Amino acid sequence: MKKRIVTILLIIGFASIAHSQASSGQLGDKLIDVGFENIRVYSAGDEYTISFENNIYAWNVRALATALDTISKYAPENARLNVVQLRFDIPQIVTKVDAGAWKKFRYDTVVGGAIDSAITVSYKTKNSWDRIKDSKPMQRNTVKFDFVFYPQFYLTNLPFGTIYEVQFNIAPALEVSFWKGMLLTAQVIFPIYSNCMVYGEEGKLIRPGFIVLSQDFRLGGPWFGNVSIGNFNFHRYGIDASIRHPFKNPRWDIGFNAGLTGSSVYRENGWEFGALNTVTFSVSAGYFLPRFNLRFDVKAGRFLQGDYGGRFDLTRMFGGTSIGFYAAYTVLNDSEGAHPNAGFHFAIPFLPGKRLKHKTFRVNVPRYFDWEYNGATDFVYNRYYERRPNENRSEHYFNPLYIKNELLENRHYRK
């Protein structure tokens, strides 16, 4: 009799383990079908921990909502979900919610206030990430080649005889990652139309754009960092390092950036490089006001021409779109006086907002079109370079308060 009881218990135990494993495998397969990458699934009882990386949707909130829809559809109704969102296989945020509560919210069977207390989004990924970080990811994002066709548009109104001078380019870039946190970008710029010489004689030449090896990393705390080396924009090449720290209250964050660069100019007779002798640096602080999805940023430091000063940005987030204004004030030396500047910037998702998935070689448009208007007329002071062609205020923005706001606001948004 005792042997029968033991046998029955063993059969039940193995069946339970097999069911758990089947559920985990099924969840991973469903997330692969959607198009996500770097997927890990771990289940222990009613608790499910899942990681995924979005390389298909332009807007990360849309990606998260789609992941939660997929997971809650196939996980048990009472499952507690810990969903870690990745970037280059590095954890950014974790979203925690019960599968049943999420489904009820999405299908209008609970009011917003109920889900507001049932869902949490935070930078505190350590406990969840520790459970799954050593497991082999499904559908890796490494050694996948993205050919992204970036449009470039420049506008100036300096000459009195011409209202505006325009330059328009198409700048395809090859983007590939070979290991965790790494991205190699190699870009070529093809001029389509140019009557704007303020950007130099290279404006009408086929020329190199961003050629950058970049490494992202995350330290505990959390601290998010990046080191990049290569050819940037604004005619600069060199090395750049930055680090950003969100506080326990995610409304606030601080950052530091430093670079050592030289001039990089492409002319008809070849590519000319200057000495690596330009030091730039900045310290920054940011504040996010959740009620209005409004972000304030202030930065002070040394700019490309050796001018010292600061810049203030005010940015409003409208779903996946960000629109903002800025003001800057720098001084090169006492005899020359101050160099004020002001303008606006925006980042708008490219239609259709969804990219190709899974293939080793993919051809896509960028996730966002971003642009900044420079109100000054010198195009020299208050200037800084970018390290990647997709630097903007929407694509890599993972503030938990913003993410949660948009999840609640867009409850009917479907894939």
Tens of pLDDT, residue by residue over 306-346, are 999 999 999 999 999 999 999 999 999 878 889 999 999 99
Question: Where does the pLDDT of residue 22 fall: very low under 50, low under 70, confident under 90, or very high at 90 and above?
Answer: very low
Q: Is the pLDDT of residue 50 over 90?
A: yes
Q: Say how far apart CA 226 and CA 185 lie, in whole Å.
A: 14
Q: Say how far apart CA 245 and CA 218 lie, in whole Å.
A: 10
Phi and psi, residue 134, nearest 5°: -90, -5
Q: Is the pLDDT of residue 6 over 80?
A: no
Nearest to 132 by CA among 71, 82, 77, 78: 82
Residues sharing a CB contact under 8 Å with residue 80, sequence separation 6 or more, in sequence order: 46, 47, 48, 96, 98, 99
- How far is the CA of 27 from the CAs of 22, 99, 194, 226, 323, in angstroms? 9, 13, 51, 32, 37
**DSSP assignment of 348-392:** EEPTTSB---S-SEEEE--SEEEEEEE-SSSSSSS----SSTT--
User: For 96-245, where are the alpha helices, taking DSSP H only?
Assistant: 99-106, 112-118, 126-132
Question: Where does the pLDDT of residue 376 fall: very low under 50, low under 70, confident under 90, or very high at 90 and above?
Answer: confident
Question: Where does the pLDDT of residue 165 fall: very low under 50, low under 70, confident under 90, or very high at 90 and above?
Answer: confident
Nearest to 78 by CA among 108, 104, 101, 109: 101
Question: Where does the pLDDT of residue 357 fall: very low under 50, low under 70, confident under 90, or very high at 90 and above?
Answer: confident
- Range with the lowest mean pLDDT among 52-66, 197-211, 267-281? 197-211
Calculate the average pLDDT of the chain.
Answer: 89
Q: Which residue has the higher pLDDT, 97 or 4?
A: 97
Q: Is the pLDDT of residue 18 over 50?
A: no
pLDDT of residue 203: 81
Q: Say how far apart CA 141 and CA 56 lie, in whole Å.
A: 11
Q: Say how far apart CA 396 and CA 305 lie, in whole Å.
A: 28
pLDDT of residue 414: 54
Ranges of each domain in the chain: 2-139, 145-390
Tokens for 192?
């389509």
pLDDT of residue 136: 94
b/e sequence 296-332, b meaning 16+ C-beta within 10 Å: ebebbbbbbeebebbbebebebeebebbbebebbbeb
Contact 95, 121 (CB under 8 A): yes
CATH 3.30.300 fits 2-139, yes or no: yes
Q: Is the pLDDT of residue 226 over 80?
A: yes
Percentage of the chain modeled with pLDDT above 90: 73
Contact 339, 382 (CB under 8 A): yes
Contact 27, 48 (CB under 8 A): yes
Give 81-139 pLDDT, tens digit per residue.
999 999 999 999 999 999 999 998 888 766 556 678 889 999 999 999 999 999 999 99
Residue range 381-389: mean pLDDT, rounded = 94
Whole-model pTM over 0.95:
no
Q: In residues, how long is the chain?
A: 415
Top mean pLDDT of 98-107, 278-287, 348-357 is at 278-287
